[in-house]
Structure 1
Amino acid sequence: MIQQIYITDYLSDAAAQPTDMIQSLVEQCPIFFGAQWQVNSLSPLKSLWQRLGASGDATSAVLCARMPLPVAPPAFCLLPVHLGLRRDTFSLQSIVPLAADVYAVLSERLKNHFLQEFTIHEDPSQRYWWVVPVREINAQTQWPQYCLYQQAMHWQPQGPDASVIRQWTNEIQMLLHEAAYSPAVTNWPETLNSLWFASVGHIPAWPAMPLTVSGQGDIFSGLQASRLTAAQSIPMSTMFADQKMTDGVWVADQWQAVNWAEVSRALQTGRISALRVVIPFAERSIEIGYKKQFRWQFWRKPYTLQTLLQQLETTLAAAR
């Protein structure tokens, strides 16, 4: 029995526009209209790390674990972002996907400009880079998902070398401005205006627990590479069919990767009697909780899409 599904949205592609995601979920899984929906103060990644018993943020370390390490372990993951600028401050709005030619141009310019400061290693996803400083940099920076829509004062680099990160970021601003007008780039993203340094910590010491974790995507691959003993490559249909599996977790990077029609069938046929789904919602997350109802519980009026979205938006506004 699969009991929990986590949509990590680790690159925050869905966090800013959850309406399409929610509409698709309830279309493919109408039984969710009868579930309980609530806004959680934790982001999807923090909810996942909490469930797996990791202390602190494991995102960068888990993603890095799936990569062949360079001569020295990377200290930072560097991500392209859009900062919303206001008169007195600015905030992180999104992580920006890059076309192949844009990624290639930026990779080359970063390597050349920062040759004396750090080395750059490309990631096969072409969504970010790994940074290995030539000297030890004692600075702590957060993963972007934890900082969405918060004013800059809440997520500035910390530590003795925080000023180094700020200096690198300032120099990157100028590089981006120059690269935007390069003849080698034909489709520069209008929203790209900065690069974000996220610290790469140590792989957590995963606690032993009676849990089966499966899924697909970069986060799950990283969990396997980081020696999470609970991580097993099991198809979702197999997890549904295993009635002895009392505590299962399915991990996916994107909501589109999950077979929600299969989830719906499993709920309707009783193969799953209880399910918890964690999906992104702005800087927080939504928890969908479903339990097989007894006859006397059917008095509760199910949601419509409109009432559901209104309730979630109202709850999010109140939480802010």
Structure 2
Amino acid sequence: MQIQLLIPGLLWPTATLLGPAAGLALDGLATLLGRGTRSMHGFEPYDRQLARLFGLEGSALPLAALRRLGEAGPQPPADDGHWLCADPVNLSFAREHLLLQAFDDDQLPAEESAELVAALNESFTDLGRFEACTPTRWYLRLPRASRGTLYPLDDVVGRPVKHFLPEGDDARLWQRTMNEAQILLHNHPLSRAREESGQRAVNSVWLWGAGELERMPQAPAALVQATDPLSIGLARASQCATATPELSSALKQDTLVVIDSLRKPAQRLDLDSWRSGLEALERDWFSPLATALQRGRIDALRLIAPGDRGTLVVANCRSDRWKFWRKPHAFDALLKSISPAPMALPDAPPPTAPHTDR
């Protein structure tokens, strides 16, 4: 029995003198890191790594259609047009840059979301139809496929928007659409009311996820445990059973477990939430999995942790439990070992050779 554990956000994205995981009791994770075989791979977007687990390659995957397939509630017919993610965002200036920030579901009431989507549909009748599956996950259904390069929202959050503008054959169409949506939403009474109450306004949408499937995804395991709609959509497209992450059922068959509870805290540099989530993972997953490996209940465990500095892969197998000479490896020490070297200050003097008397 094999388990693959995919945890985006496990690697804290910045290095500090005081380690981000310092002081946390993470004995189970330390055991997995010490007993297993660790490797660090170059950076690759998380969605591509997730798709590869389902046998899909390429940079133009239909992530919007797959994410829409993973949403709760009734599903549209398979031939019911093409899809883009059209997620609500806030654009604001920081010095000379226009930066993008996303919303959590609890930051945007469902009734406000529905009203804003209705306003978009009134203005873009010739383009397609917008819909909201959750307050912060919106979609645009198109009559034909897009021939443009549209960057995923996670790649753009907190970064200058000018580096991620649409490219390709339909670039002008999508740039114009986002500009017009920005004007419409900025002037909407709800946006003004939010600003007056001290909340971030929904003043634009971010379009992404265009693409076409060249082949159907393949089930990576007997069961996929996940809560995010992209993982669930990939599993549904591969006709694989799905469930919410839960250890006891994962131990009964080959399972891919996707846990994204650390992704947003790491992305927002919310250290307190990230540390709390890490402690929960230690309690619910790392410590019990280390025990299960020690007792021979698991043939193989593969931990995959995509981050902005690269991807950590830790492979544990049944025979590793006898390798008593492999000692636990502290997670905080691992984070420091993969941190980039500190940059020298621009005005720092160059190093000089020590003075010696002759």
| TM bucket normalised to smaller | 0.7 to 0.9
* One-letter identity of the residue aligned with 1:51: L
- Overall identity of the aligned pairs, in %: 19
Gaps of 5+ in 1: none
Structure 1 residues 7-156: aligned runs within 5 Å: 7=7, 26=26, 29-34=29-34, 36=38, 38=40, 40-56=42-58, 57-66=61-70, 68-69=75-76, 72-82=80-90, 85=93, 90=98, 94-97=101-104, 98-100=107-109, 101-123=111-133, 125-133=134-142, 137-147=146-156, 152=161, 154-156=163-165
Work out the CA distance in 1 between the residues paired with 2:7 and 2:117.
29
Work out the CA distance in 2 between the residues paired with 1:147 and 1:5.
26
2:205 aligns with 195
Work out the CA distance in 1 between the residues paired with 2:208 and 2:314.
30
Q: 1:43·1:145 contact (CA, 8 Å) conserved in 2? A: no
- 1:59 to 1:24, Cα distance in 2 relative to 1, 3 A: farther
TM-score (norm 1): 0.73
The SS at the match of 1:297 is coil
Q: 1:8·1:44 contact (CA, 8 Å) conserved in 2? A: yes
RMSD: 4.2
1:263 aligns with 289
* One-letter identity of the residue aligned with 2:40: Q
Work out the CA distance in 1 between the residues paired with 2:141 and 2:214.
20
Shift of 1:177: 2.5
* One-letter identity of the residue aligned with 1:46: R
Work out the CA distance in 2 between the residues paired with 1:296 and 1:183.
62
Structure number with greater Rg is: 2
Work out the CA distance in 1 between the residues paired with 2:342 and 2:315.
18
Work out the CA distance in 2 between the residues paired with 1:25 and 1:223.
35
The SS at the match of 2:256 is strand
The SS at the match of 1:110 is helix
Query: Is 1:219 paired with 2:226?
Result: no
Q: 1:82·1:194 contact (CA, 8 Å) conserved in 2? A: yes
Gaps of 5+ in 2: 263-276, 344-358
* One-letter identity of the residue aligned with 1:250: V
TM-score (norm 2): 0.66
Shift of 1:149: 6.2
Query: Is 1:6 paired with 2:6?
Result: yes
Work out the CA distance in 2 between the residues paired with 1:69 and 1:22.
47
User: Which stretch shifts more, 154-163 or 185-194?
Assistant: 185-194
1:311 to 315, 337, 341: 337
Shift of 1:54: 0.6
